[in-house]
Chains A and B, each alone.
Chain A
Amino acid sequence: MEKKVVHEELNFQRDDKMNLTMIPGKFARSMRTCLIWQFIRFVIINIKMIIVVGKSH
């Protein structure tokens, strides 16, 4: 029988605690270091943080 190994899903079998969580797949992980997407997120996060800083002073 041919195995279908999905590397990102292997940790589900480490123990019961990990089996009951959500683990990001390949796409979600790649977006975390995708330069274009992360630049966009950088701008958005900064705007959000500036608003929170502004509300706190």
Chain B
Amino acid sequence: MARVVVLGGGVAGHTTATFAAKWLGSQHEVVVVTPNSKWNWIPSNIWVGVGQMTKDEVTFDLAPVYQKAGIEFKQAKAVSINPEGNESSNKPFVTIEYTIAGKAGQTENVEYDYLVNATGPKLNFAATPGLGDANGLGEFTVSVCTADHAVHANDELQKSIEKMKKGQRQKFLIGTGHGMCTCQGAAFEYIFNIEHELRKAGVRDMADMKWISNEAFLGDFGMGGLHMKVGGYVVSSKLFAESLFSERGVDWLIGAHVNKVEAGKAHYELLDGSMGEEDFDFSMLIPPFAGVGLKAYNKTGEDITATVFAPNGFMKVDADYTPKPYAEWKASDWPRTYQNPSYKNMFAAGIAFAPPHIISKPMSSVNGTPINPTPPRTGMPSGIIGKAVAHSVCDLIKNGDKAHLHEASMAEMGAACVASAGKGVFSGTAAAMTVYPVVPDFEKYPGTGRDTDYTFGEIGLAGHWIKHILHYLFIYKAKLNPGWTLIPE
């Protein structure tokens, strides 16, 4: 009997664990280690953050789902990995620390035959003074990164709306809270959902709205932007993003590294090296992501974290990490199997894998401060990678070390993205986009780096319907309800 241990219960980890349990059956063990008791459909946190959904609508308890699937669930956080075992045993193990009430703080060594690291990111609020600290979100801004954060964000939003109803102008500052953030899409959704809600509440004219982002241009989204065919033209996403911001009367500041946050004020550095500050009454700034801080030790107890993980804390996989200039970046730099090069029974999926480099053109201010988005690895890519890793692990268990590993390169994978711009069955809108491939391949697609037959985007009610349907569809799938395997990642 083999034991597969999956670290993390988000999109990537949940997908890996549930498919592995299904394909391996009861002959082998699948264990999930995640500090959270609930699964969260993160894309809908946006709607929690504007009071259009409750926390219960975007989360569900993991324990009964894993019990149904025959998966052992340990509500704990992973602390370290010993891929060679220790001096008393050759069996690799991961050290975990329980977070569940009653066992909180207790540690345990969980042995494994195969390990899948799908921990997701650490929300690194501490990277920007005032944005938060090592314990999480600070007091000056809000976040929509977790369901609890989104509930808090809505509470603060409602206070601002009440102030506007009483005649007090409010300044909204939404975007990224550091020069190395990703997830611009979430902030993009949030600012337009707030704008939509303010119009519904009849107070839009009392609000000044501003976007602040580390993107070099609007519509970069951490993917270097995208080009799509519209009306006989092939145009950049910049044009569409600027159009939407202008249409909704939302000002923007791009190429900004927020370097300090105080009560009602964000300080920033721009690509031209100038420093500035922006006042706000309400601010949602996405924190940068980092690895969760897992350590790794060899058999003698020597620290091998730098061998297993990249400096940013994400796990090294089969990517080409050779430093090279932007002009030499290739699609083939990106990983295909997500297998750790040092320990072949370890894989990383979703945000937890270390990308070879960013996707957007690297930029830094004249002062040398890097200001560019880091690559998005959430949602559809996370699910597809998680499933491919589950496939590989199952084949390795069933067919031995020479089994073929399944591949899911982000340079050969598309992504469907639906960015809400306001909720409402008849009044809502969303930008429905697909991009193929996620990582541009300029050798295969000279010009835009992507296949413009499959890269498109448009704004409308249809996009909102799709986002709403996806909410129910993916929660249905994640609960492993009948037919769940038929719903694609």
Q: Which residues of A contact B (CB under 8 A)?
A: 8, 11-12, 14-15, 17-18, 21-24, 29, 31-35, 38-39, 41-42, 45-46, 48-49, 51-57
Which residue among A45, A46, A48 has the maximum number of chain B CB atoms within 10 Å of its CB? Answer: A45
**Count class of interface residues, chain B:** 35 or more
Bound CA span A53–B435, Å: 10
Bound CA span A2–B130, Å: 52
**B154-162, B196-204, B239-247: which lies at the A interface?**
B239-247
Bound CA span A39–B464, Å: 11
7 A-B pairs closest in CB distance: A42-B462, A52-B414, A18-B246, A41-B462, A38-B461, A21-B242, A32-B460
**B111-119, B341-349, B426-434: which lies at the A interface?**
B426-434
**Would you call A33 and B461 a contact (CB within 8 A)?**
yes
Q: Which of B245, B427, B460, B488 contacts A41 (CB 8 A)?
A: B460
| Known contacts A17-B242, A42-B466, A52 near B460 by CB under 8 Å | no
Given contacts A48-B456, A57-B384, 4 further A-B contacts (CB under 8 A): A11-B246, A18-B245, A21-B242, A56-B408
Interface secondary structure of A, over-half rule: helix
Give 23 A-B contacts (CB < 8 Å), ordered by A residue. A11-B247, A12-B246, A17-B246, A18-B246, A21-B243, A21-B245, A21-B246, A32-B429, A32-B460, A33-B460, A45-B463, A48-B434, A51-B454, A52-B416, A52-B434, A53-B380, A53-B488, A54-B488, A55-B436, A55-B454, A56-B408, A56-B414, A57-B384
Which residue among B432, B460, B465, B489 has the maximum number of chain A CB atoms within 10 Å of its CB? Answer: B460
Bound CA span A35–B434, Å: 22
Chain A residues with Cβ under 8 A from B297's Cβ? none
Bound CA span A41–B463, Å: 9
**Would you call B414 and A53 a contact (CB within 8 A)?**
yes
**Would you call B466 and A33 a contact (CB within 8 A)?**
no
**Would you call B239 and A21 a contact (CB within 8 A)?**
yes
The A-contacting residues of B in range 222-250, CB under 8 angstroms, are: 239, 242-243, 245-247, 249
Bound CA span A32–B248, Å: 14
Chain B residues with Cβ under 8 A from A35's Cβ? 426, 461
Bound CA span A48–B434, Å: 8
Please give the distance in Å from A5's CB to the nearest CB on chain B: 16
**Would you call B427 and A33 a contact (CB within 8 A)?**
yes
Bound CA span A41–B462, Å: 6
A-contact bits for B447-474, CB 8 A (1 contact / 0 none): 0000000101011111101100000000
Bound CA span A11–B251, Å: 10
Chain A residues with Cβ under 8 A from B252's Cβ? 17
A-contact bits for B242-264, CB 8 A (1 contact / 0 none): 11011101011000000000000
The A-contacting residues of B in range 395-437, CB under 8 angstroms, are: 408, 412-416, 426-427, 429, 432, 434, 436
**Would you call A23 and B462 a contact (CB within 8 A)?**
no
Please give the distance in Å from A41's CB to the nearest CB on chain B: 4
